[in-house]
Amino acid sequence: MSSPRQEPAHPDRAPFAGSVEHTLTDPEAVADSPVPSVQLQPQPQRPPQRVPRRSTFVRFAQNKRNPRPTVRMWPDVENPPGPCQMTTEGTHAASQFRVASDNLTVTNDKGYRQAKASHGASEGTWYYEATLTNTAGAARIGWSQISGDLQGPCGLDHYSYAFRSYPATRFHASVGYTYGERYDSPDVTLGVLIHLPPLGPAAREDLRRRRFILQRDFPYAKFDYVQPLPSTTDESEGDNITAAAVSGGSPSFTSDLATEAAAPSPLPKMPGSAIVYFCNGRCLGQAYGPLHLGKYHPAVACYMGAEVRLNFGPEFAHPPPAEWEGVPVRPMSECPPENYLEDEAAIH
């Protein structure tokens, strides 16, 4: 049997530890050889968390024959007489939701379900507060049109915008970005503001065609909404992310908002509109904007036993700013009732 072949030494350098020569001729050399130091390279900073995209749950068709996106929507319902409160009406809340006797505290035992307040608005600047009264599960709090899916979380589709309690993430159309700070404690009061600039005649007509008039329309059912051409807004959309709107936010928030604003949309958008959150009175910066054209209700989604108590005003634990973009901030308790039938009669 032939002996193992030894590796010849390199003429310009000493044999390295672990070479065949060291292993066969000098076993102790390996133990005595110095261990080379490893220089750790600094790791690049991770980008903000982005939840993988799921189905947007908004089916819309757009092709050469039909250049206008078409989506299935539920008709808007009028604000009832009385104060703004949480309701168990089938148009506003999932059947699994429970509403306490004060009509302000809501909870859900299992997976995410959504509930909306009785009143909504399409113009003006509105504010309400929300507090998690326990530490179970999680919650998503924000604003939703009546078409927002009730059998899922707020922020599931194009009709709703939400901010999750923990991990702190904002959600719209099932896409999430890190934002703000966690509020999963009874010691934290979340302020929720929506800014909806005045609408032009075309946008008002668009919203009027989405209405459900109880005394005339039957049954209450989905309809095919076709986005008008040109856009229902009466001014160029452009860049609607103003310096005042993003104050308190990081550059990553601004970049995300610009990307979302430029993305194709199945619904027209309202230039200058925005949603902003506050934690114990401290502004977290703009979370969304511009928003899809629509009538928005305060919305809550609870998960695995989370309980949320809402405060629609007029007294708040942490009052909002007096104005936003030059428009007075009003509590949702001042959101007026509506009568679509009378409005139609006045138009005609």
Successive 10-residue mean pLDDT values, the chain, 348 residues:
48 40 41 46 43 36 55 93 95 95 95 97 98 94 97 95 97 95 95 97 92 79 78 37 34 55 74 97 96 97 97 97 96 94 74
pTM, entire model: 0.75
SS3 of residue 333 by DSSP? helix
Q: What's residue 226's pLDDT?
A: 84
Q: What's residue 65's pLDDT?
A: 54
∠202-207-212 over CA atoms, to 5°? 145
Q: What's residue 239's pLDDT?
A: 32
Q: What's residue 95's pLDDT?
A: 94
> Residue 137: CA atoms inside 13 Å, Cβ hemisphere, count?
22
98-99 and 282-288 as β-strands: parallel, antiparallel, unpaired?
A: unpaired
Q: What's residue 275's pLDDT?
A: 98
Q: What's residue 258's pLDDT?
A: 63
Domain limits, the chain:
70-347
For residue 324, what are the contacts with CB-CB under 8 A and spacing of at least 6?
Answer: 125, 193, 195, 276
Cα–Cα distance measured from residue 319 to residue 327, given in angstroms and rounded to the nearest whole number = 16
| Residue linked to tokens 């409005």 | 343
Q: What's residue 260's pLDDT?
A: 60
Contact 295, 165 (CB under 8 A): no
Classify 70-347 by CATH class: mainly beta
Cα–Cα distance measured from residue 240 to residue 272, given in angstroms and rounded to the nearest whole number = 5
